[in-house]
Structure 1
Amino acid sequence: MARSSQQAAPELPRSAKKAIGELFHPGPHAVLRGELGLVGVPGVIYTPAEGLGLPAVVFGHDWLQSPTRYLPLLRHLASWGIVAAAPASQRGPVPSHARFSADLRATLDVCVGVRLGSGSISVDRRKLALAGHGMGGGCAVLAARDRQTYDQPIAAVATLAASETYPSCIDAAGEVTVPALHVAAGNDQVSPLEGNAEPLARAWGGPSVLRNLPKANHLGFLAGRGLLDGLLAGKPHSGTARIAGALLTGFLLRELTDDDNLDELVTGTLKRTELLHTH
């Protein structure tokens, strides 16, 4: 076949509005669900139905929550080609943040070290991310810091309404040099923006973006109802969950697959959100 003398025009970056409109919807991949307990870690994992060298993210749940409250988010990430796992440990009223961060790191190792599905799915150790909501967001920061301390690969970190931890995730943030996306909830009475997401983003040791959802509450990122929701201010909200899921998916695709066409989604102007900080 003769090669055309004309070169294809380079693909132009998608606007933030167009990109988030696409990422509101499920991606092109069929999705499989599995149980992490089969390989020694309690929890759940969603994967694309096939693929080698895939990116992966491990997601940490909030205080008193179960990974089941995040299943739509995990399924959505997998539909866009990202292996998404969530350990189910440290769910009691007095969790150990240090142990939960260790469980997040161990789950990453499982994603990389075990062939998934029927053996036709694998993860590239160079395309790993950590993420989480509330307590899980803070513990994701601790886990990322520890992976860097031990010279283990990590490519990105994302938090949703992150909460402070012990040891402090804000103190740890300065030691993490990979790109981060921090999404805050403007009506969050559990993890207020000024005391949690904002200092976390400003302390970050690498590229950092802080985006606020002004009308969101702390529980807005969850799905379904929980018996203990009444102890916390707010309630699940599908609009908050959808926009947070699109932001998280776009950020991870950008950082783990080098999709520069998603730059505007991460750092551009976007309706119903406020871009508060970027460096």
Structure 2
Amino acid sequence: MAKVKKLMAQLARRGPHKILTGDLAVAGLPGRVYTPESGSSLPAVGLAHGWMMSSRHHAGLMEHLASWGIVVVAPDTERGPLGSDHGLAQDLSTALTVATRVRLGPGQITVQPTQVGVVGHGFGASAAVIAAATDDRIVSLSALWPASGSKDELDAARTYDSSALILAAPGELDTLPGNALALRRALTGDQVALRTVPKSTSMTFVDGYTLRRSLTGQKRNRSANRQARAALTGFILATVAEDSTYADFADPDTDLGKLVTVDPEELEDDGLDPVSRLLKA
């Protein structure tokens, strides 16, 4: 436990690498890329933005991951109110293909093709699930405060059997539009964890102005942001980078600070659908 506590504290802070940023548009895909200043055969993740958002709303998160030696590619597609999670999933795979085939930065940064994962926030979590289920290269899935996507999302989750991490707020496991609990029940891999982040909201990893933040008044809690950032970074380093130092972050049975691991089998079913639950609240 002491080791995990120390690693959580380290990963909550910016890592040792300086950061470079670039534009995916040079490869024909709107979006951004964040990389460490140098490195070869690096791990990479594709990041799918939330509903009515863009990559800039997750700039802080991408900078943090890049500072820990992780290449991040984030498509800026499907940004409208009727955005398609299938379309964004396809663009995630395309962005990862670009990352693994093109030398990045000044031409000396390369990605290890067998070490790629996906991260999705809200609506983007559905896109990440679909991409993970349809792209055999993807070895790791992170769903951040997931929201219901198309009807195919949970079916796709049932076919994905590698490592997965779901982060959610304690009171938003099965709500409108949150579907963290349903997603956890659909995922069947051995290393799948649903962890709740105290004092967090769906805006925890979101930078700047968004329509939802304006309507709900949700603000970021710094402590929640640090804890979630550390848990996510450690999980990616364990599963994508295959760094055994962080193996505990991929173990659902390991406690990560104040984050609570939720076992769906131990939850009592109140018999209410999300709409009725919302009205009751």
* Aligned residue in 1 for 2:58: 70
Is the 1:32–1:49 Cα contact (8 Å) retained in structure 2?
A: yes
Corresponding position: 1:156 with 2:140: yes
Between the aligned partners of 2:259 and 2:93, the Cα distance in structure 1 is 31
The answer as to 2:13 corresponding to 1:25 is: yes
Distance 1:278 1:57, change over 3 A: farther
**Residues 95-106 of structure 1 correspond to what in structure 2 (within 5 A)?**
95-106=83-94
Which of 57, 61, 73 in structure 1 is aligned with 2:49? 61
Which of 191, 194, 203 pairs up with 2:186? 203
The offset of 1:118, in angstroms, is 1.3
Q: Kindly state the Cα deviation for residue 141 of structure 1 after the two structures are TM-superposed.
A: 0.4
1:24–1:243: 8 Å Cα contact kept in structure 2? yes
Q: What is the Cα deviation at residue 186 of structure 1?
A: 1.9
Question: What is the CA-CA distance between 1:51 and the residue it aligns to?
Answer: 0.9
Counterparts of 1:185 and 1:245 in 2: how far apart (Å)? 14
Read off the aligned partner of 1:275 and give its amino acid letter: T
- Displacement of 1:14 after TM fit? 6.2
Q: Matches of 1:277 and 1:194 in 2, distance apart? A: 21
- Aligned letter for 1:272? K
Q: Which residue matches 2:271?
A: none
State the distance in 1 between where 2:50 and 2:125 align: 8
Instruction: Report 1:105-184 matches (<5 A).
Output: 105-148=93-136, 153-184=137-168
- Counterpart of 2:208 in structure 1: which amino acid? G
Distance 1:135-1:195 versus aligned 2 partners, 3 A rule: closer
Matches of 1:42 and 1:238, distance apart in 2: 30
Give SS of 1:181's match. strand
* Alpha carbons 2:34, 2:72 under 8 Å: kept: yes
Q: Residue by residue, what CA displacement relative to the aligned partner does 1:24-47 show, whole Å, maximum 9, x if unpaired? A: 111111110101111111111100
Deviates more, 1:72-81 or 1:226-235: 226-235
Alpha-carbon separation, structure 1, partners of 2:259 and 2:177: 16
Structure 1 residue 215 corresponds to structure 2 residue 199: yes
Retained in 2: the 8 A contact 1:31–1:79? yes
Distance 2:138 2:259 in 1: 27
Q: Aligned match of 1:261 in 231, 238, 245?
A: 245
Q: Decide whether the 8 Å contact of 1:14 with 1:262 is kept in 2.
A: no
Q: CA deviation at 1:105?
A: 1.0
Any unmatched runs of 5+ in structure 1?
Answer: 1-12
Per-residue deviation at 1:96? 1.3
Provide the C-alpha distance between the structure 1 equivalents of 2:264 and 2:104, rounded to a whole number of angstroms: 36
CA–CA distance in structure 2, aligned partners of residues 17 and 145 of structure 1: 32
**Partner residue in 2 for 1:238:** 222
Tell me how far 1:230 sits from its aligned partner: 2.2
Q: 1:214 to 1:242 in 2, by over 3 A?
A: closer
Cα deviation for residue 258 of structure 1 reads 2.2
Offset at residue 229 of structure 1 (A) = 2.1
More displaced stretch, 262-271 vs 26-35: 262-271
Contact 2:237 2:243 in 1 (8 A): yes
1:271 aligns with 2:254: no
Normalization by structure 1: what TM-score?
0.87
What's the TM-score, normalizing by structure 2? 0.86
Residue 108 and residue 278 in structure 1: after superposition, are their counterparts in 2 closer, same or farther (change >3 A)?
Answer: farther
SS of alignment partner, residue 160 of structure 2: coil
User: Which residue of structure 2 lines up, in the alignment, with residue 88 of structure 1?
Assistant: 76
**Aligned equivalents of 1:155 and 1:193: distance in 2?**
29
* Cα distance between partner residues in 2 of 1:195 and 1:65: 17
Find the counterpart in structure 2 of residue 9 from structure 1: none
In 1, distance between residues paired with 2:178 and 2:37?
Answer: 41
Q: What RMSD in Å do the two structures reach over aligned CA positions?
A: 2.2
How much has 1:84 moved relative to structure 2? 0.8
The one-letter code of the counterpart of 1:178 is: S
- Number of aligned pairs? 262
Residue 227 of structure 1, CA deviation = 4.7
